[in-house]
Structure 1
Amino acid sequence: MESFISAILGELTTRSINFFISKLSKPTTLDVEDRLRRVLLRAQVIIDEAKGRHITNQAMLLQLVMLRDAVHWSHYVLDTFRCQLHQDEEGANNQVNSAMRLYSRGAKTLKDLQGALDNLSSMILDVNELPHGADEELEVLPIVGPSYVGKSTLVAHVCKDERVRARFSEILFFHIQTFTDDELATFRYECELKHQNRVSESNLEARLLVVIELIGDLINEEAWGRLYSASKRYAPRGSKIIVTSRFDSIVKFGTTRALTLKFLPHEAYWYFFKTLTFGSMDPEMHPRLTHLAMEIAKMLYCYFIGANIMASLLRDNFDVQFWCKIVAFLRGFFHKHVSRFGEHPFDLLNQNRPAHLRRLATPSQVFVIYHQYQCSRQDKVPKIRFQDVMYGTFKTSGKFEFLSWRSSIPPYHSFAGTCEILELKAGGAKRKRSMKDGDTLR
């Protein structure tokens, strides 16, 4: 009897160990990773095909947005898994420690991978057929969103599309502050012609696309009414108006549902930042750098200009030690800024409010960014770069202009600002002033 019980216990023990090992083994997780990678390729094909079609069906557009978000999330889960796997392999002292480490962290990773796979697969099943054709466009489309979210970039890409250019005889741009009477008086003469098709006077298909960039808030509704009425009289039938603003007050003047732009969620921002930083290089070949890049992306608070500046800096110094130095510097600086002023500096910059930043090369100094502004392609831009101020040894006195970033895609805007370098005083001489009023630490 004892030998029988011993044999049963031995068999149960062997099966339990085999089950435990099968659950811990990497091929199970790697198999899900491989399947997720293949589904991601399929999803990307669907998205690329959709970009080549003129889809106006709102339900289908919503499905495509959900599919795109699922793709960003899946890429984020994959990159997180690879970074964890690299850390486990680097820190493993023996097989037991490696297995326990994989068990403690691998369960959640496997769950995330499987969840991303199931979600993405479900999305692809929903997007079976993309409708062709286009509905007739409505007259006024409002586009709203915070500063630096990409409203001008979106409009520039739309106006560059050959289908849009073929539809309109002229594409006009007008930058206006608040629709005052004086600004309306110069409306037709101040418009910038971005595109023109050669059409005969008898061509009834001649249409205008007027893009109005509203810089301030819409406080004069009567002025907008006069502009709208005049545009209907002046513009040929079938003309359209796009109005962009960071204020929601323009939404009620749209003849179709407003397009609201928001900053990217973290997973999509990571995909964007990774693409900028690594370019044509394969991040999988540099797991340590990928992990550091993920840490940096988390600290940038989805700040578009910050992503471009930081990616440029990292590309110029493709070195693990340098990237580690940047991570330590940003982590310490952001923590001190939040504890002192109650807000992340990039939150302030996104709102075009004053913020003060530390200098990497000279820790005894800070530079205060008082104001940011946008330059067109023709404007004269400052020669001093943001990188030179924050990470270099640039010296000057008083306020000066600097170049944050120059965009390489339409509308090719440059982003500049006004700042000042200040010396930090030691000990009790430091004092805090209200950042809202433009004061800072001296």
Structure 2
Amino acid sequence: MIRHKLVRIHSSVEEARGKQIANDGTLRWLSELIDAEYQGNYLLDCIKHDLDEGDEDDDAKVVSSLSRFNPAKRARMSVCNILSRHHDVTIEEIDRVAERLQGVCDGLREFIMLLGTCQPVRRPLATNIFRHGQMFGRHVEKERIISFLLHDDDDNTRLAVLPVVGDTGVGKTTLVQHACDDARVSSHFQVIMLLEFSYTSAAAAPARSETTFVLRPKHVIGDAGGVDVNVNNPLDLVELDFGSKRFLLVFEDVDTRKKQVLEDLLHARTGGSSSKQGSKIIVTTNNRLVATMGTVKPIMLKALPFPEYWFFFRAHVFSGRDLEESPGLVAVGKAMAKKLDGSFFGAKIVGGLLRNNPNPGFWRRVSGSSGIEDMSALGDGVNYVMDLSQSLLPGNVRMCQMIVSKDRFSQTELAGLHGASAAQITSWAQGPYGFARVLLCESLLPFYNLYYIADCTAGLVNGYSECEEVPCVSVVQFNTTHGVSISSLAS
């Protein structure tokens, strides 16, 4: 039966999560197991949803179809009547997934034997994926990063560099920070520094050819020995002396211009560092050209496959609610997840909104929102959150400003605005800021939690007061304490 095969695969995957796997072939094998597990669970989830809308006879047919003798062919004969009415999955899809599960199960014994040669690692207790900094998915990629960091290089004349490449919003920063937070990594490096570039002047908007950067520490783990890591010139990092300490430097969001600065920095440090052998560099970027500066094969991140993304989205939306009690919402939720197309920000924002408004009519209205329909798959994080949130706000609420902050000072939630009257919204806006502070979403990173917060006011709808309509421009301000602030200001 498919369920039985999924139990076998899941137990093997869980066993692998508790091992330190350094062999790349074994990691690729684990990646295939994880992907097959999600595909199988998604298939059963779709069939179960179809049965919830079908009858008991159909239920009996599908249960008997998942036979231990030949699941693919028996499934083809058994679910024809259901699939003629419901179209979440096709007969060919059932055949393909069942055959793949059979294929991966055939090699599980050998996979378990390979795991027996791997060292065990300490794992935290399983918790809700949105609490305590737990990360969803990316286990194989995380282990590849850790394997790179713990590997002792033979060449001590240059720093080893690992590029992590992927589109904006795909989870590069989250992945790297979780890897740095792993006990094996934090105990291996005496100093871990996450650094980010910013322009010397955001307001002046200098010509691109004249743009210069400053380098600031986003977060420091360990003892830097009293070294002042605030450097106005990135090349000043060459002069930093960590003594005999093994260090890890992480440079985030590197483009082609910043790449040249980093290459100059690495060239200057080559052979001249007194730091302990084994110090490493990680670079995150959305540009494949930047990956050429790596000394090892880059890690390429893509959006999660839909079966895996669906379970991420479902956990945000239903969060402990029994799906059997709301089969109609499941269908709308799947349609919504497909529109969001792999966006983690979208799952958090839309998921929180739907979770607090479990009404099919409301869900359908949100699903039909033109703002969601026109969203790019991932896009720029800040702009994506602004555009999506603005389209989801009630008609009498207007977003005036959005900030990304390390401090959560929201007074209410996005979902709460939909059930609030204009008087309530106006009352919220009477606080010290003059706006209703709304938490749009939050990023639960291990040691750098960011909150995306909107300042909203009540607008003119059916007699309500409205902000004066004036032309506006967007001003981007860089602040090392509170992140990026994008404000709409009168021109």
Q: TM-score, normalised by structure 1?
A: 0.68
Residue 126 of structure 1, CA deviation:
4.1
Alignment partners' CA distance in 1, 2:199 and 2:288: 13
- The letter of the residue matching 1:148 is G
Residue 355 (1) aligns with residue 394 (2): no
1:81 matched to 2:47? The reply is: yes
| Matched letter for residue 195 of structure 1 | G
Contact 1:381 1:414 in 2 (8 A): no
Q: Which residue identity lines up with residue 28 of structure 2 in the other structure?
A: L
Picking from 210, 213, 228, the partner of 2:252 is: 213
- The 1-side partners of 2:3 and 2:244 are apart by 47
One-letter amino acid matched to 1:246: N
Change (3 A) 1:315 1:337: closer
From 84, 102, 108, the counterpart of 1:104: 84
Counterpart position of 1:309: 349
Partner of 2:178: 157
Return the offset for 1:345.
6.7
Matches of 1:210 and 1:220 in 2, distance apart?
A: 15
Aligned equivalent of 1:123: 104
- Report the Cα offset of residue 351 of structure 1: 7.5
Specify whether residues 144 and 222 from structure 1 end up closer, same or farther in structure 2 by C-alpha distance, changes over 3 A only: closer
Identify if the C-alpha distance between structure 1 residues 324 and 169 changes in structure 2 by more than 3 Å, giving closer, same or farther. Answer: same
Looking at structure 1, the residues matched to 290 and 267 of structure 2 have their Cα atoms a distance apart, in angstroms, of 16
State the one-letter code of the partner of 1:271. F
Whether 1:60 and 2:26 are equivalent positions in the alignment is yes
Which secondary structure state, in structure 2, belongs to the residue aligned with residue 177 of structure 1? strand
Letter in 2 for 1:208: F
CA distance in 1, matches of 2:16, 2:353: 34
C-alpha contact (below 8 Å) 2:83/2:91 kept by paired residues: no
- Using the TM superposition, give the Cα deviation of residue 119 of structure 1 relative to its aligned residue in structure 2, in angstroms: 0.6
Where do residues 7-26 of structure 1 align in structure 2 (5 Å cutoff)? none
Query: Aligned pair in 2 of structure 1 residues 402, 408: CA closer, same or farther (>3 Å)?
Result: same
Task: Specify the code of the residue in structure 2 equivalent to 1:355.
Answer: D
Deviation at 1:312, TM superposition (A): 3.0
Among 162, 169, 193, the alignment partner of 1:172 is 193
- Seen in structure 2, the aligned counterparts of structure 1 residues 103 and 326 have a Cα distance that, compared at 3 Å, is closer
Provide Cα deviations, 1:203-226, integer angstroms capped at 9, x if missing partner: x99421222223x62315442123
Unaligned runs of 5+ in 1: 1-34, 93-98, 199-203, 426-432
**Displacement after TM superposition at 1:269 (Å):** 1.0
Structure 2 equivalent of residue 375 of structure 1: 405
Question: 1:100 and 1:182 mapped to 2: Cα distance?
Answer: 62
Match of 2:5 among 10, 29, 39: 39
Kindly indicate which of the two structures has a greater share of residues assigned to helix. 1
Distance 1:197 1:126, change over 3 A: farther
Matched pairs, number: 370
Output the amino acid matched with 2:18: G
Match for 2:414 among 386, 393, 397?
386
Change (3 A) 1:264 1:172: same
Bigger shift: residues 288-297 or 136-145: 288-297
2:264 corresponds in structure 1 to 226
Q: Is 2:437–2:455's contact at 8 Å kept on the other side of the alignment?
A: yes
* Unpaired segments ≥5 residues, structure 2: 59-78, 120-146, 154-159, 201-210, 226-242, 463-470, 476-486
SS for the counterpart of 1:219 is: helix
**1:382 Cα deviation from its structure 2 partner:** 4.5
In structure 2, C-alpha distance between the alignment counterparts of 1:162 and 1:228, rounded to whole Å: 27
In the aligned structure 2, how far is the partner of 1:77 from the partner of 1:406? Answer: 31
Local SS of the residue matching 1:194: strand
Equivalent residue, structure 2, for 1:183? 214
1:316 Cα deviation (Å)?
A: 3.6
1:49 counterpart = 2:10:
no
Amino acid at match of 1:194: I
Letter in 1 for 2:84: S
Counterpart-to-counterpart distance in 2, 1:327 and 1:315: 10
Q: Give the superposition deviation at 1:329.
A: 0.8
Q: Whose Rg is larger?
A: 1
CA RMSD of aligned residues (A): 4.3
Which residue number corresponds to residue 27 of structure 1?
none
| Paired amino acid for 1:70 | A
Q: Summarize the alignment of residues 240-389 of structure 1 with structure 2, pairs less than 5 Å apart.
A: 240-284=280-324, 286-317=326-357, 322-334=358-370, 338=373, 343-344=374-375, 350=381, 352=383, 355=387, 357-358=390-391, 362-363=394-395, 365=396, 367=398, 374-376=404-406, 379=407, 381-383=409-411, 385-389=413-417
- Is this contact kept in 1: 2:353–2:414, CA < 8 A? no
**Does the CA contact (< 8 Å) of 1:401 and 1:416 recur in 2?**
no
Would the aligned equivalents of 1:370 and 1:419 in 2 still touch at CA under 8 Å?
yes
Residue 237 of structure 1: SS of its match in structure 2? coil
Q: 1:106 to 1:314 in 2, by over 3 A?
A: closer
Aligned partners of 1:290, 1:268: CA distance in 2, in Å? 15
Cα distance in 2, alignment partners of residues 103 and 352 from structure 1: 40
| Amino acid in the other structure paired with 2:10 | Q
- Verify the 8 A CA contact 2:441 2:453 in the aligned structure 1: no
The CA deviation at 1:270 is 0.6
The question of whether the paired residues in 1 share the 8 Å contact of 2:163 and 2:283 is answered with yes
Q: Is the 8 A contact 2:163 2:298 kept in 1?
A: yes
- Paired with 2:331 and 2:32, the residues of 1 have a C-alpha distance of 27
Q: For 1:56 and 1:112, how far apart are their aligned partners in 2?
A: 34
Structure 1 counterpart of 2:222: 195
- Residues 18-46 of structure 1: CA distance to partner in whole angstroms, max 9, x if unpaired? xxxxxxxxxxxxxxxxx111211221222
Partner of 1:7: none
**What's the counterpart of residue 25 of structure 1?**
none
How far, CA to CA, are the matches of 1:88 and 1:285 in structure 2?
Answer: 15
Cα displacement string for residues 213-248 of structure 1 (whole angstroms, at most 9, x for unaligned residues): 23x623154421232145551532111111223333
Q: Distance in 2 between matches of 1:178 and 1:47?
A: 44
- CA gap of 1:63–1:359, structure 2 versus 1, over 3 A, is closer
Residue 225 to residue 333, structure 1, CA distance change in 2 (3 Å): closer
Distance in 1 separating the partners of 2:419 and 2:174: 28
- Other structure's SS at 1:173 match: strand
Matched residue, 1:406: 442
Distance 1:255 1:178 in 2: 27
Distance 1:337 1:436 in 2: 22
